[in-house]
Amino acid sequence: MACFTFFKFMMVLFNLLILLGGLTLLGVGIWVSVDKGLFPQLLSLFTLDMQFVKVGFFCIAIGGVLVLLGVLGCCGAHKGSKCLLLLFFSIILIIFIAEVAAGTVALAYSSFAEGILKAWATFVLKNQYGSDPVVTKIWNSTMTELNCCGFTNYTDFTDSYYSEQSEGSYPPSCCQLDTAPCSQQQAWHSAVQGCFEQLLEALQKHANIVGGIAVGIGGLEVAAMLVSMYLYCYLDNNVS
């Protein structure tokens, strides 16, 4: 009985955290969807100009799922409902399988995903950099912080809107020399790395942290499934 009480307490506590996380995401999602300020505009940049993903709606959807999970887990543990516990276990299991499948696909088709990302970034740099202030500010900050130029290299700005408007020059980040403007020849001699390569190097440096977070999330999901199934089996045996 003491073991059952402990697992019940842990189940309620764990799902309260899930519920709080879901409510936070819901709040952020609603704010991003309603507010037209600078920060939502920065987030909306990652809709890839194809309307595949709306950040606000995405946060609302994920937050709603987390709130549902939190309510199911808390009510199932507190009321001793086998139906709610089984439903909670099923949803967590589906999410876990989806995450494993997504990770496997990402590893198997990483080069394909890189091609899509490159096509999008190249389009944005050639057509929106220099004309869209939000896009320009984000890329300038990224290139300055990472000491990089474009997505692949300086050629991303060749025949671009920015280049045409600046008489064939390139962004200052593409040249290591302090002289302005940054010409194509100077950019070629500088050979500044593209931001994608810099991001990959940064990810590789922090691979242990990223992997640890992924393992931690997976561990929490497995723990939640084990606890919910233990409570379900305990209640099933007592009812029987």
Q: Does residue 151 contact residue 194 with C-beta atoms inside 8 Å?
A: yes
**Residue extents of the structural domains in the chain:** 2-110+211-239, 112-200
Alpha-carbon span 21 to 62, nearest angstrom: 10
Alpha-carbon span 173 to 148, nearest angstrom: 7
Mean pLDDT of 181-198: 85
| Top-confidence range, 24-28, 158-162, 197-201 | 158-162
Q: Does residue 69 contact residue 92 with C-beta atoms inside 8 Å?
A: yes
Give residue 236's pLDDT band: very low, low, confident or very high (50, 70, 90): confident
Mean pLDDT of 67-95: 85
Structure token pair of residue 182: 């940054």
Instruction: Return all residues near 75 (Cβ < 8 A) that are at least 6 apart.
Output: 81, 84
Q: Count other C-beta atoms under 10 Å from residue 136's C-beta.
A: 16
Per DSSP, the residues of the chain read -HHHHHHHHHHHHHHHHHHHHHHHHHHHHHHHHH--SHHHHHHHGGGTTTTS--HHHHHHHHHHHHHHHHHHHHHHHHHT-HHHHHHHHHHHHHHHHHHHHHHHHHHHTHHHHHHHHHHHHHHHHHHTTTTSHHHHHHHHHHHHHHT--SSSSGGGGTT-HHHHHTTT-B-GGG-SSS-SSB-HHHHHHHTPPPHHHHHHHHHHHTHHHHHHHHHHHHHHHHHHHHHHHHHHHHHHHHH-
Mean pLDDT of 33-62: 55
Q: What is the pTM of this model?
A: 0.59
What is the amino acid identity at position 127? N
Higher pLDDT pick, 17 / 207: 17
CATH topology of domain 112-200: Cd81 Antigen, Extracellular Domain; Chain: A (1.10.1450)
Give residue 209's pLDDT band: very low, low, confident or very high (50, 70, 90): confident
Residues 90-146: tens digit of each pLDDT: 988 888 888 788 778 766 766 676 777 788 888 888 988 988 888 888 888 888 888
Instruction: Return all residues near 82 (Cβ < 8 A) that are at least 6 apart.
Output: 76, 232, 235, 236, 239
Per the DSSP assignment, residues forming a β-bridge with 170 are 182
Mean pLDDT of 143-158: 87
Alpha-carbon span 187 to 190, nearest angstrom: 5
Alpha-carbon span 163 to 130, nearest angstrom: 9
Percent of the chain with pLDDT over 70: 80
